[in-house]
Amino acid sequence: DADVTQTPRNRITKTGKRIMLECSQTKGHDRMYWYRQDPGLGLRLIYYSFDVKDINKGEISDGYSVSRQAQAKFSLSLESAIPNQTALYFCATSDPGGRETQYFGPGTRLLVL
């Protein structure tokens, strides 16, 4: 089984709808992240969480919110989706200390019409 899972894997929604992307991990890592990937722009950080009580904004947090329900679960919400939020969304996890390699989930492809 995958260490980092994301649901759904694909989602089509309409402008103005609220949607939630979910991430679960079995790696036992404290730190979790949400990124979006747009063609030609690499990955950009939306939000990150160092533990259940610690949530931080990344470079592109406007229009997004997150919830860290448990050490293993970190969800991303789009309160009112807009077409330019169409992207590939990744969840990642890492353990604090040392190199802190981030391990990514399989991604969620989101299309906002």
Alpha-carbon gap, residue 11 to 49, rounded angstroms: 24
Here the tokens at position 67 are 């919830």
Name the minimum Å distance from CB 91 to another protein. 10
- Which chain residues interact with another protein by CB under 8 A? 31, 33, 40-45, 48, 50, 58, 88, 90, 92, 94, 96-97, 99-107, 109
Closer by beta carbon to another protein, 30 or else 73: 30
For residue 37, which amino acid is it? Q
Minimum gap (Å) between residue 110 Cβ and another protein: 12
β-strand partners of 60: none
Phi-psi region of 40 (alpha: psi -120 to 50; beta: other; left: phi over 0): left
Nearer to another protein among residue 32 and residue 80 (C-beta): 32
| Residue 56 vs 80, nearer CB to another protein | 56
Least CB distance to another protein at residue 50 (A) = 7
Instruction: Please identify, using beta-carbon distances, which residue of 74 and 90 lies nearer to another protein.
Output: 90
Q: How far apart are CA 39 and CA 26, in angstroms?
A: 29
For 41, other C-beta atoms within 10 Å of its C-beta total 9
* Nearest approach, Cβ of residue 106 and another protein (Å): 5
